[in-house]
Chains A and B, each alone.
Chain A
Amino acid sequence: MSEKLQTLIIEDEELARNLLRSYLKDHPDIEIIGECENGFDGVKAINENKPDLVFLDIQMPKITGFEMIELLDYKPQIIFTTAYDQYALKAFELNAVDYLLKPFSKDRLLAAIEKVKHRILNEEDNTEKLEELSNFRPGEDFIDRVVVKDRHKIHIITVDQIRYIESLDDYVMIYTNDGRHMKQKTMKYFETYLDPKNFIRIHRSYIVQVDNIAEIQQYEKEAYIVILKDKDKTKLKVSKTGYKKIKEVLHF
């Protein structure tokens, strides 16, 4: 490789950053172009600087390393670093990226860099695998929040702010009290990871928060719509199975 790998370190703990830097200092193929202390700065730095390689901590303030991936316009090679979590298994399984378990040795780090170099040489594309990784949630836990990016601003939407979600081909539109946000995720993802006690898939195209339903109207035989509690009294179509689910959750 003629040129050095432009490398970014994203890690919230100073001591962990120091260690990485000291390991990478003399490496002939690495040039550190920056360090970020949190996910917000990390997304910005990756999208702006387009590094070749990123060392990414998973557990970070504001947004996690995994949530960051969802917000990237540009996908560099990524080596995850983490102390202990359930994602480790999945990441190894996918073999999309390398994974360093803290504390790690210098040798282990060098081996990971070799792998990355190999992948770049063979022009392997990891976009799909990264996407699969970001869709994975360990355990039966439901998600607490969704991160979205409008132009250059990142928003964290806690699930209680979500009023309803509409499907738009490959995207979804998330409606909150303050407006709406587009996100590249499937309806299936939200149907799986939002608590079904609070969110109902009422139609192929809609997932609604239960507390947000004002009333349910029948407009034809076996055809219903829900009217939401907002200024515009938004009306959404309900499918047959959707109506059944509403009945189950609301007990009527």
Chain B
Amino acid sequence: MKHPLTNNYRLLGFYAIFWATIGTINLVLQLLWYNVPLSYSLLDTGTNYVLYPLLGSSIWYSIRYSNLEEVSIGRLIIFHLIAASILCGIWVYISYAIYKPFVKDNDFLNNGLPPKIFLGYIMYVIYLVFFYAVNYYESLKEKIKKESEYKALIREAELQALKSQINPHFLFNSLNSISSLTVSNPEKAQEMVINLSSLMRYSLMHNQKEMVSFSRELENIKLYLGIEKVRFGKKLNAEFEIDAHCLEAEIPNMILQPIYENAIKYGVYETTDQVTIKTCCMCDGNILKINIVNDYDASTIKRRGEGIGLRNIRKRMEIIYNNPDLIKITDNKTSFEVQLVIPQKQAVS
């Protein structure tokens, strides 16, 4: 840590004004009350309240390198005693070197020595307390700052983790479909490679941007469903009912992907019949409502309600909007419904 007086000009100003005030009071008292000659009084005040504060600012370094918690009390006392003696010696020596040309009165010099040395030690203690207080305050400030930085980092990391990644099961199955198409239908294979690339590019991009337009997210979902449609053929049927003016709404990116992945996993994977995934959207003032319903075969699976994908969405929405109730899940036994409410900064009209 830097020296607080050179690092913080306000503190330096306060330090200077404080000692100037004390020095002036001392000067006035000596002149008017004790009738000390002006030259003596100036010398005394100058050495005590100008020279000492200059030398004393170095006490900062002695407390920086003798941390209260790391050093035992005995060592600390000895350390400061030595430091105080050295500082005091230097200060008294310089003071007397200044006095010499001006003061001819030997009594003044001799009688003044013990109180001067005593004052030197007392001042050392005052400085010590002052610098310890400054040090404590600065470390506290730094700690609070670090803590808030750390919290922001954790929040960021949490958000990253909650965002959906491309599901490896989906990726490898799609690659297998492409592998098959290269034999039977190379043009379709090429189309699928391009679609898969766009999808992956979108999911990589989401690391940089938190919010996207609903139309952009929807485009991505259609791309995803298109790829799955190549795998599942007629088994997968996707329907969209979107209010055109909702498209401008803002939405956290990749927030919808896990819902569709679930619909495919529990709906399409598990049945031999056709499954419809229906998406309805409407805007109402400052909110965008998205409703996604898929049918599923209740005889083969027991849905456990909120899986990890949906839990992540809830968590992410909670972090972004500070509200844990923006996702609603309904199991109708033959269909599964997820409703998202996404608050908008500006009313969508």
Contact = CB atoms under 8 A, between A and B. Distances in A.
A62 B232 CA distance: 15
A103 B176 contact: yes
Interface string A57-95: 001011100000000000000000001110000000000
B300 A102 contact: no
Contact of A156 (B175, B179, B233, B299): B299
A83 B173 contact: yes
Contact of B184 (A22, A102, A145, A156): A22
A15 B180 contact: yes
B201 interface: no
A18 B270 CA distance: 21
Contacts, number: 77
Interface size class of B (residues with CB under 8 A): 20 to 34
A107 interface: no
Interface size class of A (residues with CB under 8 A): 20 to 34
A61 B181 contact: no
A178 to B, nearest CB: 12
Contact of A144 (B171, B231, B232, B302): B302
16 contacts: A15-B230, A16-B177, A18-B183, A19-B179, A37-B272, A61-B300, A62-B270, A62-B300, A63-B300, A84-B173, A101-B172, A102-B179, A103-B172, A103-B179, A144-B302, A144-B304
Contacts of A19: 176, 179-180, 183
A13 B271 contact: no
Interface of A: 13-16, 18-19, 22, 37-38, 59, 61-63, 83-85, 101-103, 144-145, 156, 158-160
B320 interface: no
A160 B302 CA distance: 8
B301 interface: yes
Given A16-B180, A22-B183, A62 B302 contact: no
Contacts of B183: 18-19, 22
Contacts of B301: 144-145, 158
B176 A61 contact: no
Interface in B290-349: 299-302, 304
B96 interface: no
Contacts of A22: 180, 183-184
Given A103-B178, A159-B302, 4 more contacts: A16-B176, A62-B272, A102-B172, A103-B176
Contacts of B233: 14
A158 B302 contact: yes
Nearest to A102: B176
Contact of B172 (A13, A14, A83, A144): A83
B184 A18 contact: yes
A228 B304 CA distance: 25
A103 B189 CA distance: 14
The 3 A-B residue pairs with the shortest CB-CB distance in the complex, in nearest-first order: A83-B172, A19-B180, A102-B176
Contact of A84 (B169, B231, B270, B271): B169
A206 B143 CA distance: 59
Contacts of A83: 168-169, 171-173, 176
B303 to A, nearest CB: 9
B202 interface: no
A38 B235 CA distance: 13
